[in-house]
Amino acid sequence: MKRIISTPNAPAAIGPYSQAIEANGTLYISGQVPLDPATAKVVDGGIVEQTGQVMKNIGAILEAAGYSYADVVKSTCLLSDMANFKAMNEVYGKYYAENPPARAAFAVKELPRGVLVEIETIAVK
């Protein structure tokens, strides 16, 4: 059984995908970029502000699905430049101070809307 997760507290999908899908006790959150859900615009600032917004968006989707950061088991972090890894990691780490999830992080050629970071997430109950 699959359940579509959607919340106005995270950016609306801008293509043929869902914010998240829950199937058999596992939540798959689509890659989140640093869009303000109220304006659908990229937040002002650099990697610190953008990572913070991405994590807020992930948190809103987790909450809408009845999950929390503690349920996250895997993250994939996409960066426009590995030079931003340290700053992204510092913000990201604040959300996973204990028992952090497994993670991959790598640079890609570019990200949607020219953002600096995108993070996809998997959580399990």
Superfamily per CATH, domain 2-124: RutC-like (3.30.1330.40)
3-class DSSP assignment, residue 27 = strand
Q: What is the pLDDT along the chain (125 residues), one digit of tens a residue?
A: 899 999 999 999 888 999 999 999 999 999 999 999 999 999 999 999 999 999 999 999 999 999 999 999 999 999 999 999 999 999 999 999 999 999 999 999 999 999 999 999 999 99
What pTM does this model have?
0.96
Domain boundaries, the chain: 2-124
